[in-house]
Structure 1
Amino acid sequence: MTFSNLLKSAVFGLAMLGVTVPAMADQLADIKAKGKIETATDMHYAPFDMIDNGTYEGMTKDLFDAVAKEIGAEPVYQDIPWTAELPGLEVKKFDIIIAPVTITPERLQRYAFTLPIADATVALLRAASNADLKKPEDIKGKTVGVQQGTAQFKQLQAFGDKIGGVNIKEYGTTDEAYADLAAGRLDAVAGSLPNLTYLVKTRPETFAMFDKATFGQPTYFAWVVRKDADSESFVKAINAAMLKMTDDGRVKAIQEKWLGASAELPREVPTK
């Protein structure tokens, strides 16, 4: 007798004895039953998440609106500081983190990631008036801002050690770092390539990319779900929706709307 048949026989036997057998938890079934998906994101991370005149918008919202429709549930969007998102997910304050989270080997061990939604390779931003900074190595001895607790911070730290030292200043949000760069209190800001490209596109009089902007390993952004058996069906449903939207052109259209260009993304979750 196989283990599966043995388990079925045991469950049937318990039922015959009048013993109540609890149903296995299934996050997707629970979401469909309540008709909503509780999400968390930091709404200060343009062009993925932002608030315009009190209204939440951005690439993340457009993507997840479409994914939620495919799943058959209404998304509930919550503005949560980045540093509170992963802890909140673990204690089930929400179903999913839709803030763009960089896939890293360490995080893969603890969380379940969806298919990538965008490139997350770390890059450097300077003031438009500062033409002396051209390549990543030029930040040696300079003061560089970065959002705290991010994969971009870790890559900046490692790169700084490699080139002989960088004065790193951490910020709660990228907007705070951009403001200090514009005010001359920073020499540069490190962040993901699409975020910085969008900022330069919208504020070219204030900011500019380094001539060679990126450094470190190529990485991707994705959404994060709890890594347990309950959540497996939910992750599969999201990935199925994303693949469908990729194949019918919706992902490309949303990328072009918010990033100005589209990129081919992995059809499997990167493992490193």
Structure 2
Amino acid sequence: MLLKKLIGAITIAAALTIPAIAQEKDLLAAVKERGELVVGTELQFPPFDFIENGKQVGFNSDLFAEIGKELGVKVRFIDLPWSNVLPGLEAGKFDMVAGPNTLTKARLEKYYFNLPISGGAISIMKLAKNTDFKSPDDIEGKTFGAQRETVSAAKIREFGEGKNITVRDYSDNNQAYADMVAGRLDGVVAQSTNLYYAAKLREGMFEILKPAIGPMAWFSYLGRKDENSRALMEAIDAAILKTIQDGRMDDLQRKWFTVTMELPHTLPDPDM
């Protein structure tokens, strides 16, 4: 019995050190050696990542399939609530993060951001039948939903400062959309890419207010900002750039966003 307990303790200790060991060697070499790129994400973020008929679908799934081909590896996604994704990356639970993530100055200091895969401004969406709310100027006293720990949540709080607004945090945008339909929210705040997709699925139900409340924002994948991760992240950049140049990126944008957008070939300086 003592021997079994000792073996069990050794096994648990070894398992707990796996993430640290993985980070001690060149990550690109490790990924190619195991034949698998492990990606952290949240599967409640359409049109980027979501579940349909029991299967993961979305822009990320399709683009990472192309990235996997370029690297010569399979891609495995780990689904977590968004608030756990970046801590999971820092703990070495996966190689990089899909998300995607809004490029900001603060995040850029902490993480390696890949080339942008989409862009859009932070906007407010309301029910089309809500005729007393016609523009962002009508924000006074209203209640909004936004995904927890996102730039959108921070931006609506900043925009509504001094205007007696209420902001409710949600684990994902779908929950906020449902509460707006149920009359518990006046609007939902998110990047326009996500809002246009939601409006497209429920044609005539939602309206996106103009102008946007935030500057142009870029969405990117990201990884750890250390020397062991650099080769992998640069290889991801090269794969993304290749899909931009050969037209595969345009095809995926048409499929999931209904429009194409010109993407920078180098990482832009963030505006926020």
Do these two structures clear the TM 0.5 threshold for a shared fold by scoring above it? yes
The CA distance in 2 between the partners of 1:176 and 1:78, in whole Å, is 21
Task: Give the aligned CA root-mean-square deviation in angstroms.
Answer: 1.2
Within 2, Cα distance between the matches of 1:164 and 1:52?
A: 39
Alignment of 1:231-242 (within 5 A): 231-242=229-240
Matching of residue 119 in structure 1 with residue 126 in structure 2: no
Match of 1:192 in 2: 191
Q: Does residue 159 of the first structure (1) align with residue 189 of the second (2)?
A: no
Partner residue of 2:260? 262
Residue identity opposite 1:147 in structure 2: Q
For residues 95 and 137 of structure 2, the distance between their equivalents in structure 1, rounded to whole angstroms, comes to: 41
Equivalent residue number for residue 250 of structure 1? 248
Q: Map 1:41-52; keep pairs closer than 5 Å.
A: 41-52=41-52
Q: Deviations over 1:22-80 (max 9, x none)?
A: xx821111100000011111111111111001000001111111011101110001211
Q: Distance in 2 between matches of 1:260 and 1:120?
A: 13
Q: Corresponding residue for 2:11?
A: none
Query: Can you list the C-alpha shifts for 1:81-108, whole angstroms capped at 9, x where unaligned?
Result: 1000000000100001111111111101
Alignment of 1:139-178 (within 5 A): 139-161=139-161, 164-178=163-177
Task: Tell me, in whole angstroms, the C-alpha distance in 2 between the residues paired with 1:36 and 1:27.
Answer: 11
Instruction: Tell me the residue number matched to 1:209.
Output: 208
- SS across alignment from 1:214: coil
Shift of 1:213: 4.6
Is 1:108 the counterpart of 2:108 in the alignment? yes
TM-score after normalising by structure 2: 0.88
2:159 match: secondary structure: helix
Any gaps of 5 or more consecutive residues in structure 2? 1-23
Say if 1:125 and 1:213, in contact at 8 Å, map to a contact too.
no
**1: CA distance, partners of 2:87 / 2:120:** 22
**CA–CA separation in structure 1 for the residues paired with 2:68 and 2:165:** 42
Matched letter for residue 29 of structure 2: A
> What do the CA deviations read for 1:165-188 (whole angstroms, capped 9, x no partner)?
321111111111000000001000
1:79 matched to which residue of 2?
A: 79
Gap change, CA 1:80 and 1:120, over 3 Å in 2: farther
Q: Indicate the residue corresponding to 1:11 in structure 2.
A: none
After TM superposition, the runs of 4+ consecutive aligned structure 1 residues lying more than 6 A away are none
Q: Larger deviation: 173-182 or 125-134?
A: 125-134
Contact 1:124 1:213 survives alignment (8 Å): no
Distance 2:78 2:234 in 1: 23
Counterpart for residue 137 of structure 2: 137
Query: Match of 2:69?
Result: 69
1:140-186 Cα shifts (integer Å, max 9, x gaps) = 2100110110011111111111x623211111111110000000010
**Contact residue 139 and residue 163 of structure 2 kept, 8 A:** no
| One-letter code aligned to 2:74 | E
* Greater radius of gyration (CA): 1
Give the structure-1-normalised TM-score: 0.88
**Which structure 2 residues correspond to residues 5-84 of structure 1 after superposition, within 5 A?**
25-84=25-84
State the one-letter code of the partner of 1:85: V
Paired with 2:86 and 2:117, the residues of 1 have a C-alpha distance of 18
Q: Note the alpha carbon deviations across 1:216-250, whole angstroms, 9 max, x for none.
A: 12111101100000111011101111111111100
Q: Which position in structure 2 is the counterpart of 1:4?
A: none
